[in-house]
Amino acid sequence: MKLTIFAATGGIGRQALEQAVAQGHDVTAVVRNPKKLSRQVRVVAADLAAPDPATLELAVKGADAVLSGLGARSSSDTGVAWRGTRAIVQAMKAADVRRIVVVSAAPIGTVPSPGRPNPPKHDPGDGFFVRNLLGPLIKAALRKHFADLAMMEDVLRDSGLDWTVVRPPRLTDGPVTGAYRTAYGQNLLRGLLISRADVAHFMLRALRQPETCKRVVGIAH
C-alpha cells in the first residue's frame, strides 16, 4: 500500500514507519524534523501546529491510507492533536483519501468534549482500580492533554472519513509481539500496558480490517 505516516519520529510513529517499510509498503513520512527520521523514505516536513494545507495535501495525495501518531510532546504543544488532525482530515478530503488510523488514549471514552458532552462516567472495560484510583488521578494530571485527544476524536467522528481511533493504556518500549487484546468501543479489563510497537502493529493490521472503520478500538497486552 501507499501509506502516509504523520509524526513518524515519535514513539509509535517510528514503529509504524519501521514495520510499514518491513512489510513492503511505500511510505511517505510527515515530520517536523526530518533529521530525526530513522529511515530513508519520502519525507515531507510540516509543523502541525501551523500546517500549510497545500503541503499536507501533497503529502497525502495518492495514499491508500494515513497513519498518525501525532500527540503533544509537552504541555506547550497541547492542542496539536486536534488541530493537526483537523488539518490532516482537510488535506485528505482535498486529495480524496479516505482511510485514517490514529492514536488516542484509554481514558478518552469518559472525557467530555464539545462533540460528546456527556460521555459515560465509566468505561465498561475499566476495573475497580482504574475506575476509582488510577483513572481519576491520571485524568486530573493530564486534563489538557486528554481534552486535546477528545477533540481530536470529535474531528474524526465528524469527518465522514473511514477512521479508526486506537486507545492504548500506558505505553512501553517493549518489542512487537502481535499478542495483544482489542475491543470495540471500550478498554480491556486489567489491560494496563501495551508496547508502542504493538500499537503500531495493530494500526497497520487495521488497514486490512474494514470492520475497524468508524470504530474506536481499545488495545492492551
Contact residues: ligand NAP, CB under 6 A: 7, 9-13, 31-33, 36, 47-49, 69-71, 73, 77, 80, 103, 105, 149, 168, 170-171, 196
Strands 99-103 and 162-167: parallel
Taking the complex as a whole, the smallest distance from the CB of residue 158 to ligand NAP amounts, in Å, to: 20
Closer residue to ligand NAP, CB minimum distance, 160 or 174: 174
Cell of 181: 487484546
Q: Where does residue 73 rank: exposed (0-12), middle (13-18), buried (19+ CB within 10 A)?
A: exposed
**Which ranges of 96-195 does DSSP label H, i.e. alpha helix?**
128-129, 135-141, 143-157
CB of 13 to ligand NAP, least distance (A): 5
Among 109, 119, 120, 30, residue whose Cα is nearest residue 66:
30
Which of 97, 219 has the CB closer to ligand NAP?
219
Q: Do residues 79 and 88 touch, judged by C-beta distance below 8 A?
A: no
Confirm if 103 and 168 have CB atoms less than 8 A apart. Answer: yes
Measured from the CB atom, the residue of 9 and 160 that comes closer to ligand NAP is 9
State the minimum distance, in angstroms, from the CB of residue 24 to ligand NAP: 23
Please give the C-alpha separations between residue 200 and each of 49, 103, 135, 136, 141, in angstroms, as whole numbers: 23, 9, 24, 27, 26
Residue number of the CB atom closest to ligand NAP: 71
Is residue 215 helix, strand or coil? strand
CB of 219 to ligand NAP, least distance (A): 10
Give 25-47 as a DSSP string. Answer: -EEEEEES-GGG-SS--EEEE--
Q: Which residue lies nearer to ligand NAP by CB, 51 or 160?
A: 51
Report, in Å, the least distance between residue 217 CB and ligand NAP: 13
Least distance from C-beta 141 to ligand NAP, angstroms?
Answer: 12
Give the integer Cα–Cα distance in Å for 150 and 12.
19
Residue 161 or 203: the one with the smaller Cβ distance to ligand NAP is: 203
Nearest to ligand NAP of 81, 161 (CB atom):
81
